[in-house]
Chains A and B, each alone.
Chain A
Amino acid sequence: MELKTIAAPRVPVRYYEGGSGTPLVFLHGAGGIMPNDPFLAALAKKYHVYAPLLPGYGDSEECPEIRDMLDFTLHSWDVVDALGLKNPVLAGHSMGGMIAAEMAAIAPHDISRLALICPAGLWLDDHPIPDLFSTLPFEFPQLLFHNVEQGTALLTAGMAVDDPEWLKGFLVTNARQLGMAGRILFPIPDRGLAGRLYRIKAKTVLIWGDGDRLIVPAYAHAFRKGIAGSELVVIPEAGHMVTMEKTEQVVQAIARLG
């Protein structure tokens, strides 16, 4: 995958590009994209992948003018347009799934294939989503992975909390990334998507790890009810980071969109 920059109307956008075939736009979750992300690499074997970073993620420029859900949605459409893409497969994970669903709802005739991987965006009082923003780094693996031990190893690689310089860098990254994510996820990741789901016309596949402890599978059923004709693929022995834990199965599920 190659990291590139494209000029979008509000801000220059950094994006990963790689692979060949049907164009696919992937929108990342609140954690961003890891360098050498194995999921993107797997997608690139089948698709021409474009994975834009939200402003503030990775090394990309921040954009204070993107404040609310409509701004996020239109910005993401701006990026698709800037990339010169027409009706790409649109996929999103977690927060990225929320944005993708909004994009498909606001412009239902421009997207015909939609993959939502444990998307955020709904709220069920019986299943309150844990507060991501007060979660401490060491608590994340428990929330995000089916295999907590492997997840811990993945998330803590390179961490040096006793080194003040490392800590400063970590806090800056967190402030940039989760600060941006907070605009649509804090304090409750619901910006009214439930009332707009009916507009989605795309063929939609919902992909969920059966052991997701962050956005539990009850939400999969709520999305399925909300999007007419959507199909749910539940992947066993996987948590919220199903893209990392069961990479191939997620790619296969997306392929069901044709």
Chain B
Amino acid sequence: MKFTWFNLMPWPHLPDDFREKNRSVWVDIDQKLFDPVKSNAVYNTYLDLLEYADGLGFDGVGCNEHHQNGYGLMPSPNLIAAALTRRTKDAAIVVLGNSIALYNPPVRVAEEFAMLDCMSGGRLVAGFPVGTSMDTNFCYGQIPSLTREKYAEAHDLIMRAWHEREPFAFNGRYNKLRHVNIWPRPIQAPNPPIHIPGGGSVETYDFCIDNTYSYSYLSFTGYIRAKALLDGYWRRVEERGAPDKSPYRAGFAQTICVADTDEEAQRLYEEHVLYFYNRCLHVYPGFADAPGYRTIKTIQSGALSQYAPNFSFATLTWKDLVEGGHVIAGSPETVRQRMEDLITGLHVGNIFCLMHVGNMPAEKCMYSTKLFAEKVMPKLRNMFPEYKDDSRFWCHPIGSRAKPGSLPDARELAAAGGR
């Protein structure tokens, strides 16, 4: 199993009446609610927490890309990842990912991911999302019905940039480049492992299967509701004639809160979980899906039923969220049992553990993270022994990695000067 400690980096200071006074946490969120001075502490705490997770033995630390969003303070995940290369030691740096249709030209992604891989000594796991409609269309202005074509071209360009060893010309529809020749290139050859976040687009299943990429379902609705979607994915893996059904072909994001007892979990975490589901997911429905962003096939598949007009996270209570599996919370034993259900039920080998939730303060987050790392994770380690050697979907760091802070000390410097 691969456990990645993931932080969405929510803004923790949304007011109590946020829902009532604002139409959306995303796209046109009120500028006045962001306080740059306070953000200095917020960013540093979030980076500290990611580093803390590395120290506790999580397999990966993760970040992602969102724009104009009150629950995701990472318009540039690569900046966060770059900061993480310095003070984390062993964890994979999982950038999930860069919305490649948004970069102009997309060789920028090939270059920055290469830099991250080189700086981290081959610890990069690269993600290529299409991006939500909020990010891609409404914030970054991409034409909805052309977004996927542009994404596909960006993908081809990035892969060629990584794979080819001679300068080449790329005559795309959206990118015309006479001399593609990225410098540096990634340590991991021919390319870092690739995870594709998807939200139920059937085309994305095939894309992952055909390219041996891991399909990641990143939802906030939990593992019980995810069953139908991932069952569809595994059916497709079979239909498409993939050579195996390795659980590492799939990943899943799950909100997890651990305490000594189930009661303590509610007492400690309820307000932060409700902050997330009430305020952070308050998205104006007009921004959810620009017409043309989803393919007709996907709409017809009915995978979007969660967008039914009467569905709202805001009406859900702690009890609903825990029983419905949106959140896995409780004692280490409760969490272990439910995680086991998740892992076997969805048949997933990559878990993105959302352990910082809403406006959770650092000490609670550390407490929950430590309990998970020490009392839950070890018991889930060997869930898929038959696939334990499947390394296709994870990074391959070099053996001897450079250490930060290894400049010569003052004496050596003086000696060098004296020569």
Taking A136-B285, A187-B137 as contacts, is the C-beta distance between A179 and B308 under 8 angstroms?
no
Instruction: From B97-105, B139-147, B204-212, B325-333, give the one contacting chain A.
Output: B139-147
Number of A-B contacts (CB under 8 A): 74
Number of interface residues of B (CB under 8 A): 28
A169-199 residues at the B interface, CB under 8 angstroms: 171-172, 174-180, 182-183, 186-188
The answer, yes or no, to whether A135 is at the interface (CB within 8 Å) is yes
The answer, yes or no, to whether B408 is at the interface (CB within 8 Å) is no
Chain A contacts of B304 at CB under 8 A? 171
Q: Are A186 and B285 in contact (CB under 8 A)?
A: no
Q: Are A136 and B146 in contact (CB under 8 A)?
A: no
Closest to B287 in A: A134
Q: Are A134 and B309 in contact (CB under 8 A)?
A: no
B136-180 residues at the A interface, CB under 8 angstroms: 137-138, 141, 143-146, 149
Closest to A177 in B: B291
Chain B contacts of A182 at CB under 8 A? 143-145, 290-292
Q: Which of these, A161, A171, A186, contacts B144 with CB under 8 Å?
A: A186
Q: Which of these, A64, A168, A187, contacts B299 with CB under 8 Å?
A: A168
Cα distance, A67 to B141, chains bound together (Å): 15
Q: Are A186 and B308 in contact (CB under 8 A)?
A: no
Q: Are A180 and B292 in contact (CB under 8 A)?
A: yes
Q: Are B143 and A183 in contact (CB under 8 A)?
A: yes
Q: Are A183 and B286 in contact (CB under 8 A)?
A: no
Q: Which of these, A64, A161, A187, contacts B141 with CB under 8 Å?
A: A187
Q: Are B137 and A171 in contact (CB under 8 A)?
A: no
Cα distance, A109 to B295, chains bound together (Å): 40
Chain A contacts of B27 at CB under 8 A? 134
Number of interface residues of A (CB under 8 A): 26
Chain A nearest CB, measured from B225 CB (Å): 16
The answer, yes or no, to whether B300 is at the interface (CB within 8 Å) is yes
Chain B nearest CB, measured from A181 CB (Å): 8
The answer, yes or no, to whether A167 is at the interface (CB within 8 Å) is yes
Chain B contacts of A177 at CB under 8 A? 291
Taking A134-B138, A134-B287, A174-B291 as contacts, is the C-beta distance between A179 and B299 under 8 angstroms?
no
A88-138 residues at the B interface, CB under 8 angstroms: 133-136
Cα distance, A245 to B310, chains bound together (Å): 33
Chain A nearest CB, measured from B296 CB (Å): 6
The answer, yes or no, to whether B391 is at the interface (CB within 8 Å) is no
The answer, yes or no, to whether A164 is at the interface (CB within 8 Å) is yes
Chain B contacts of A162 at CB under 8 A? 309-310
Chain B contacts of A164 at CB under 8 A? 302, 305, 308
The answer, yes or no, to whether B236 is at the interface (CB within 8 Å) is no
Q: Are B305 and A175 in contact (CB under 8 A)?
A: no
Chain A contacts of B290 at CB under 8 A? 133-134, 182, 186
Q: Are B296 and A133 in contact (CB under 8 A)?
A: no
The answer, yes or no, to whether B284 is at the interface (CB within 8 Å) is yes
Q: Are B309 and A179 in contact (CB under 8 A)?
A: no
Chain B contacts of A188 at CB under 8 A? 141
Closest to A161 in B: B309
Cα distance, A161 to B310, chains bound together (Å): 10
Cα distance, A174 to B144, chains bound together (Å): 12
Taking A133-B144, A183-B143, A183-B145 as contacts, is the C-beta distance between A172 and B296 under 8 angstroms?
yes
Chain A contacts of B305 at CB under 8 A? 164
Q: Are A167 and B145 in contact (CB under 8 A)?
A: no
The answer, yes or no, to whether B294 is at the interface (CB within 8 Å) is yes
Closest to A186 in B: B143
Cα distance, A178 to B295, chains bound together (Å): 12
Q: Are A168 and B302 in contact (CB under 8 A)?
A: yes
Q: Which of these, A179, A183, A187, contacts B138 with CB under 8 Å?
A: A187
Cα distance, A154 to B291, chains bound together (Å): 22
Chain B contacts of A168 at CB under 8 A? 299-300, 302
- The interface bits of chain B over 344-385 (1 if a CB of A lies within 8 angstroms of the residue's CB, else 0) are 000000000000000000000000000000000000000000
Chain A contacts of B302 at CB under 8 A? 164, 168
A126-167 residues at the B interface, CB under 8 angstroms: 133-136, 139, 161-162, 164, 167
Q: Are A179 and B286 in contact (CB under 8 A)?
A: no
Chain B contacts of A180 at CB under 8 A? 145, 292
Chain B contacts of A179 at CB under 8 A? 144-145, 291-293
For this complex, 17 residue pairs linking A to B, each with C-beta atoms less than 8 Å apart, are A67-B146, A133-B144, A134-B286, A161-B309, A172-B296, A175-B291, A175-B292, A175-B293, A175-B295, A175-B296, A176-B296, A177-B291, A179-B145, A179-B291, A180-B145, A182-B144, A186-B137
B interface residues (Cβ-Cβ under 8 A, vs A): 27, 137-138, 141, 143-146, 149, 284-287, 290-296, 299-300, 302, 304-305, 308-310
A interface residues (Cβ-Cβ under 8 A, vs B): 64, 67, 133-136, 139, 161-162, 164, 167-168, 171-172, 174-180, 182-183, 186-188
Question: What 10 A-B pairs have minimum CB-CB distances, sorted nearest first?
Answer: A179-B292, A178-B291, A134-B286, A179-B145, A174-B291, A187-B141, A171-B299, A133-B290, A182-B292, A136-B286
Known contacts A182-B290, A187-B137; can you find 14 more A-B pairs with CB under 8 A?
Answer: A64-B149, A133-B137, A133-B144, A134-B284, A134-B290, A136-B285, A167-B309, A168-B302, A171-B304, A180-B292, A182-B145, A183-B143, A183-B146, A186-B137
